[in-house]
Each structure stands twice: as structure tokens, then as C-alpha cells.
A and B are shown apart, each in its own frame.
Chain A
């Protein structure tokens, strides 16, 4: 007796203790729920968020059971729609079968049926299905359709009979929903019901049934039941079904044909219906077996040009080289778009044996066809393609040579450099130019002496292109490793003035500072041609380092051409990006303006000034607003500077506003005025 009492007391204490803890949590949760009873969509969500957080915290813990009970009770309370909507959303994630009674009671009420379903559809367990099935006959309108939809989503096999009956419903929306729901239920009875609906129905219900039947077949196929799936596809492939259904069925037939895939593909390629031919071609990649590809290839002569082109592309996508002879033959097709397609396919399927054919096509055609041949030549895969190209290059005809040289560049064949050095001296001008351009991409620093040799021996356009090549290749050397050394070393080799000037020009574009003394010395050369070359080279310099040299020439030269060239170069260098203080840049422009001899030179200075991001530059430009001849350039410079400054600082200073107002008042250019007004408006 004592022992029993003891045990009873312990149990009571435990229960009581547990109850106290539960009550504490439960109270907090309950209080929150009371608060949200009046929640509406335009109110604060703070308490709802707290409820959500508590539910998430309780997920998988024993206390969730009690909380769920409170949520269910909440649904039966007089809470607002918004509050119940919120609770249903919570139950959709945290709810269990325990919530079914509360939710099921809402199902037939069209006002709240959707929110109840929102929860029920996601809650697992047969009790939910039972409740939905039970509600179905009592529900009407949208509530009924919603229940049908949810039964489908849940794949409830026990609902098949009821849903099957509803496929005959007088309400078309209900019948369509029933058909769609049946298609989501993995059950033979459901599939049979859809088949019956397909045969009996018309209009939207028939369309839905055909789609549903296809999805049943797809599911069977995915489960490996290819015969059953194939039978449905075959039934739907019948000539009297809509073409889009036949197309889908044809795809299914091919995918489930197993060993007979080739036969099915051929049968479809022989079809009188182009869409069927097309779907057979489209599906080829998914069933890409060599025997099927071969069977399809044999049908090419029987296809119209459009389908031929489509099939050739499909063959390329399959990537099986067995198709190469067919593609080669198609490259000679009488239809240009078939030829283009075949030439493009060669890039994927071709190999070393395709080089001649692609070169010939690139040489003999133009437009898209030539582009296709060229691109495929550039893309041909295989370890021996590059060697084949190099082997053919020296003895090819000029036009073929051009194509082969281009392919060396595009294929990045570094080992082609010695060959290209030779073709850069070819008798054919186009071959030479293409070779020099290819060398620009492929040659390395070790090739610079040879390139300079070519440069010095060349003339005219060739020399110009070679100068560019020497510059580009020299710049492949790291900046601190003497980019101009090879050119400097070659200077003594220049046999005539033209050659020397050509090298000086290259030195200017490279911009290696160790070349500056040489160029400065050349400024004082006794020969005007050399001086001219030196001024131009310094003007091309990539940084402002030789600016002072150019200024000096502009100030002191007695040769007007050199003066002009130097001033132009000086303004160019002033405009290059630099870390020097803004006032130094301003001084450069002021010096340049002081030296500008005529209107065109002044315009040039103002144009350069426009790239300077400083208020002083704007003021300088402003000072020319009243000059009739320079007004236009001055306005442009002011606007350019002002806009650039506005990007960094939207607030416009009073002084800038004054200048802009001056532009507005004085300009005759409407666009400039609008631009200035817009800036002023933005800056307010």
C-alpha cells in the first residue's frame, strides 16, 4: 500500500511538473494566439512572426503536439480570416493528422476552403485523404475544384472512382480538374478512366484527357514499364489525334522502342507528316546509338531540304563520327542552307581528313558558307590537325594559303611561327599581310629579332603592319625586362633613313623608358625626316614622360610641321591618365594654349581640356565661351567636365552653376542648353 502510494505520488508529481512546464509554454503560445485573433492583412505581423518562431523552435519536440492543438482550436474560434489564413500556412508545414478534423470542417465552406486545403495538401497521412474524399460530394463550386486538385496532388488512389465519375461532370472546369487529378495518381484505374474520358469527351475535356494520358504514359516509361507506356503512345500516335499530341506520342514511341528504335525512327522519317519527321530527328540525340544514327542517315535523300538540314545538325549533336560521310556529302547539297549546316557540322564531326575540304569551301564560297567553313576549320579537333595545316601551308595556292594562315592564328598554333615568318615574305600581298597579323598573336619575345628583320626589309603596307606586330610582341615582355631592347639593338642595322624612322616609330609605341635617350637624341638629328620620326614617336608615348621634350620642340622648333606635331603630341600626353597634381595638368593645357597658333590648334587644346576633371579646367574652358570661333568647343568642354564631376558629386557648387547658367544663356545649341538645364536641376 505504501509502495503504491509512493508510486502514485511520484507519477502525480511528474505529471504535475510536466503539466506546469507545458502550461507555461502553452500559456505564452496561447497568449500570442489570442493577440493575433484580430490580425488583418494591413496590421503589424510582429506577433505572427513570434508564433512562427515558436512553432519552428518546437518542430519535432513533444511540446509541438500541444501547440498544434491550440492552433486547431484557433481555427474553430472567431478569429479573422487573415489570422486563420496565417495559422493554416503554419499548419501546412508543422501540422499532422491531428489537425485534420479542424481543417476538414472548413473544406466545404468556399470562403475558407482554400486556406484549409493549403494546410491539408501538405500534411501527410491517410486521414487527410479520407477527409478530402468525404468532403468532395458535399462541396460545390471552387471548393469542389480545389478538393479535386488536392486529391490529385496527393495521388490518392482511393479517390479514383469518385474522380472518374467527375470526368463526366456537366461543369467543364470540374471535369477538366478531375482528368488532371487522375493523371497525377499512379494507378491503372486512373489511367483507364482517363482513356475512357479521352474517347468520350470533346473540347477542353478531351484536350485535358489527351495531355493527361500522355503524362500517364510518361510516368509508366519513367518507371521502366516501357511496353505499357509504348502502347499508350502508339494509341495517341493515331492519325486522327491533334498533331501536337501525335508529336508528343511519337517522341514517347522512340524513347520506349528499345531494340526497335532504329525501325521506329525510320518509320517516322518516312512519315508524310513533316512534324513527325521533325520529332524523330529531334529525339535522335537522346537515343544516340550508332545503328539508329545509321538508319536515320539512310533516309536523308528522301527528306526535304529543311528536314535534311535539321537532321545534319542532329547528327552533329549526336557526335558520332559515323555520320561524317553523310555530312560531307551534304556539304555539296544544292541548297545553300543545307551546305552551311553541313559545313558547321564538320567542325564537330570532322577530323584531319576534313582540312582540305574546309579550306576549299572557305576559298570558293562567300558569306555564311565561307564563315561556316572557316569556323569549322578553326574548331576541328584532333592531335594531327595542326600538323596537317602546317604541312599544306607552304605549297598551297594563295587563297588557300590565306585560309591556312588564318587557321594558324585562330587555332593558336604556336609552332607555326617559323612557317609564318616565311609566308610573311610570300609573293602574294594578302598572304603576307595575313601572316604578319597572325604573327602578332603567335610570335613570342624570342621572335622579335626575326620580326625586326622582316620589318626592315619590308616596305609600304607590309612595313606598317610589321611595325604593329613588333610593338605587340615586344609588349609581351614584362615591363621591367626591357620591352624595347631588341628594337634598340636593331637601330644600327637600319640601312636607310626609312628603316631608322620605322624603328623609332616602333620605339615610341612600345614606350620603354630606356629608349628615351635615343629618341631625344633623334630630336636633334641633322635630318628632318629623323626629327619628324622622333617627334611622332614621342607623341605616341604611352605615358606623359616625354611631355617636356615635346613642349620644347613646340616652343623652339623652327620647323612649323614639327611645332604642330609636337603641340598635338603634348596635348595628347596631357590627356593621358596620370597621378600628377591637377594644377600641373592645368599648366600643361595653359602652356599648350599659349603655343596654339591658330583656331584649329586652340580647338584641339579645348577638346583635350574637356577630359580634365577639375574646376580649374572648367574655368579655363569658360574663359573661351565668349570667343565666337571657340565657343562651340568651349561649351562642349564645360559640359563634359561638369557631367563627369556630377557623377562623383551630385551637389553642384554655386560657381559651377554660374558657369552652367552662362552656357545656357549664351549657347545657340538646343541640346547643350537642355543638357546644362538638366544638370542644374539635378544639382539642386
Chain B
């Protein structure tokens, strides 16, 4: 028996990962050989996952965990019983048993001591409370972007994750795609010179008429769905379309901030700061149930003089993605397209060993699991997700007040605008509060 086999494998996974072992930061991945020659892990040795929210995105994330040999999905939670059943069926089919438990209340999932990982894919207004509770309970967390609905909630999540030494991965998976990292490394290493402007193109929103009040569908806990958001009757908006209503989301701009603003920050080494000036203009629906802007343009300035323009794709020359303009050229990166640059030779440039090499992840879920074992910070920790979202949330406040804002990224405070500052947080409907 080789020396490494003397390490109890369950002990390794569980003690390296959970509260049983505490928290750690390691930059390097533990080899799969620790888990056996083929990387397989016996079910009893796997990290147990509790899924909170198993609609479209949640099911996608659940499959991410179902595909990994190190994890076992043991609980699925949703306010819609239909979703619960579908998720359980898929999980049971995958494992060939009927062990997966279903829940309506996320608190019951977090309370399970055998669960190591909480994965959340729920409407934005619900992001903070379960995340903070999960951190307090010693779980590691895979949280969907955007990090939170307000800047103060985002800060509270970051603080809780840090306080309890939890591993957090945000669903900003573009960071784990070669093209995006490559583009960021080219920009970081000055291949297009000093960047003065970056345009971030995000999807355009939509409008919809007013909706009648309807009976709550059978099997749906509407009060739980609303949670901390103001009470309203059910009007047919439940899954997906909540993102066009301000109580629950900031629309496409905040939804996608965790993708392309995140990439812009990564490329420009702005991951731990934020803009100092923000001026937004949005076109809001003139009526109807949707009330977030369907067109938007937010111009932000950073302390280093950089201008970041965040707008819906139709208002930008390069559309979706991040387009960086430097004094020696430009570079555009987005999904499903090669990197475009001027001069064209930029895309073939080699990044030498003495230059900046960014954190490399080739698989977003695997990066999370590797970091749980090593206790290293993931490629998209909560703090970075918070900073990626901040320009969009400030843009939203600027649009709502109709004023240009000044922002102190260090103190995370709006300067000289008391009214705008009120929007940094939102009162929660009783009995919900941040520290349940």
C-alpha cells in the first residue's frame, strides 16, 4: 500500500471540506488519485449537496453536481412542489435509489448536519438570507449570480462567508472558459496598451401588460416565494419572469453583471474596488407588470480614470460582451465567438512566464469542489461577485433618482446624496431579516 492510501479517504474529503476540518486556502488542487485510481468515490464518502431552488437554473446547477463523482445530491428544495418532484426524480434516476429528500422550506435543508454544500438558484431578492444562514451553519456555498439584490445585502454575504471561513463559488462560469481568461490576460498584460474605456454589453429587457390577480397554483407556497419582498397578490409571475420586476431583480443589467462586468473587472484588475462616479439613463415600461428598464446605459468612472459603459447590447457597437479600448488597440470578448482585436495580431500574442497569469479554472463546478478540499479561494468568491454587481446596482439607483452619483468604493457609501443612499438596502417584510 502506498503512503497516500494510508490517508482515510472519507476522512480526507470530509475533514478537508467541512466544519469538521474548518477553513483553508490552498492554491493547488489535490490530485484525483486521492479519491482512487479512476477518481471515483464511494457514495458514503461524497460531499452531500442540498439544492435550494430547482427551477431552470437550479436544475442546471444540480446536474453540475450530479455529474461529479465527489458529490451526492441528497436534498432538493423549492417552493413549487412540481419542481421538487422533477428534481427528485432526476436525482433518484441518476443514483438508482429514492434517497433524495424534498423540502419546501430552505431552513430545513440548511439545518441538516449531514449536508456539506448548499447550492442556491432562487430569485435575487432571496439571495442573501439563505446564503448567510448557510455560512453560519458551516456549509460551503455555490450561489447563483447576481450575488444579492442590494449592495448592503451583498456586503453582508461577503462578511458572513469570510467570518465563518466558507468556500463560496458564484455562478459566474465565464471565468472558467478559456476565451475569457485569455482575453483578460491579454488586456492585463497591456497588449492593447493602457485601457481608457470598456464597454459592457448586456441583454436588452422586455415589457409586458398588466396581469390579473390569479389563484396561486396548487403546490406553490406564494408567501414563501415572496419572502422578504413586499406582499403582492399572485399575478401569474412565478418562475423566470420575476427578473423583470424590481422587487425581485434589477432586470438584465443586474442579472448579467455577474458575467460581463465581472469579466471587465477581471481584465482590468478592478475586482476589489468599484467606480467613483455613476450616471445612468434607462427606459422604463410606461405601464404593465414589468417595471425594470428594458433599455439602459450607465456610464461609470473609476479612480484610475477608466470609463466603463454598461448598456444593453443594442446601444453598443460590439453588442454583447466586454470590449476594451486601449491606447494601442481594442479587444472584444463574448460567448461563442473568437476574441476579436485590433491589431489582429494581439489575439496570437504569447503571455510569457514573467507576465501576469490569472487564476486558471477549466471547470467551474470542479474548481468549487477542488477548493472545498483545499480550502483555497474559488475563481469567483463572494467578494469579487459583490464588486462585479456593484456598478449595476449603483446604475440602477442613478436611473431611479435621475442623478449622477459619487461613490466611495472603500467605504461602500454614496457621497452627498442622502436619498440615493436609502436605496443601498431594502426593508424586509416581517418576519424576515438578514440574520435569521
Q: Please list the residues of chain A having a beta carbon within 8 angstroms of any beta carbon in chain B.
A: 40-46, 49, 56, 59, 82, 85, 89, 92-94, 113-115, 117-118, 121-122, 124, 142-143, 145-146, 149-150, 152-153, 173, 176-177, 180-181, 183, 207-208, 211-212, 214-215, 218, 243-244, 247-248, 250-252, 273-279, 281-282, 284-285, 305-306, 309-310, 312-314, 316-317, 334-337, 340-341, 344-345, 348, 367-369, 372, 378-383, 385, 411-412
Contacts and interface: CB of A to CB of B under 8 A. Distances in A.
B23 A247 contact: yes
Contacts of B164: 244, 247-248
B19 A244 contact: yes
A44 B422 contact: no
Contacts of B163: 214-215, 218, 248, 251-252
B418 A124 contact: yes
Contact of A142 (B357, B400, B431): B431
Contacts of B431: 142, 145-146, 149, 173, 177
A340 B370 CA distance: 14
B98 interface: no
Contacts, number: 235
Contacts of A114: 230-231, 429-430
A314 B26 contact: yes
Chain A: interface secondary structure?
helix
Nearest to A181: B433
Contacts of A252: 163
B3 A113 contact: no
A310 B210 CA distance: 56
Nearest to A57: B402
Contact of B22 (A40, A277, A372): A277
B428 interface: yes
Q: Report the 4 A-B pairs with minimum CB-CB distance, sorted nearest first.
A: A275-B22, A313-B26, A146-B430, A278-B22
A121 B7 contact: no
Interface stretch (B27-35, B266-274, B307-315): B27-35
A94 B422 CA distance: 10
B345 to A, nearest CB: 10
Contacts of A122: 422, 427
Nearest to A119: B427
Nearest to B152: A153
Contacts of A49: 284, 286-287
A394 B223 CA distance: 74
A313 B402 contact: no
B93 interface: no
A93 B352 contact: no
A612 B247 CA distance: 51
Interface residues of B, number: 72
A92 B247 CA distance: 14
A313 B27 contact: yes
Interface in B115-140: 136-138
Contacts of B363: none
A275 B2 CA distance: 26
A310 B17 CA distance: 11
Contact of A45 (B162, B291, B429): B291
A274 B11 CA distance: 11
28 contacts: A41-B233, A41-B235, A42-B211, A46-B286, A82-B232, A92-B422, A115-B230, A118-B230, A122-B427, A143-B430, A146-B429, A146-B430, A146-B431, A149-B431, A208-B436, A247-B19, A251-B162, A252-B163, A278-B16, A278-B23, A281-B24, A305-B7, A306-B12, A309-B30, A314-B24, A335-B3, A336-B4, A348-B27
A337 B4 contact: yes
A197 B419 CA distance: 36
A212 B435 contact: yes
Interface in B58-86: none
Contacts of A115: 230
Nearest to B25: A282
A247 B165 contact: yes
Interface in B277-321: 284, 286-288, 291
B159 interface: yes
Given A114-B429, A316-B28, A379-B357, A279 B16 contact: no
Contact of B20 (A274, A282, A317, A335): A274
Given A285-B25, A309-B374, 13 more contacts: A42-B235, A93-B423, A94-B419, A118-B230, A173-B431, A177-B433, A273-B22, A277-B22, A282-B24, A313-B27, A317-B27, A341-B28, A411-B352
Given A43-B210, A146-B430, A368-B32, A314 B25 contact: yes
B430 A336 contact: no
B212 interface: yes
A275 B433 CA distance: 29
Contacts of B400: 93
Contacts of B375: 278, 281-282, 310
B40 interface: no
B133 to A, nearest CB: 10
A248 B230 contact: no
B215 interface: no
A337 B231 contact: no
B28 A340 contact: yes
A336 B286 contact: no
A370 to B, nearest CB: 11
A139 B3 CA distance: 65
Given A149-B430, A173-B431, A313-B376, A45 B288 contact: yes
Given A115-B230, A281-B375, A317-B27, A208 B435 contact: yes
Nearest to B211: A42
B353 interface: yes
Contacts of B210: 42-45
A218 B27 CA distance: 26
A336 B350 contact: no
Contacts of B235: 41-42
B177 interface: no
Given A93-B422, A183-B435, A41 B31 contact: no
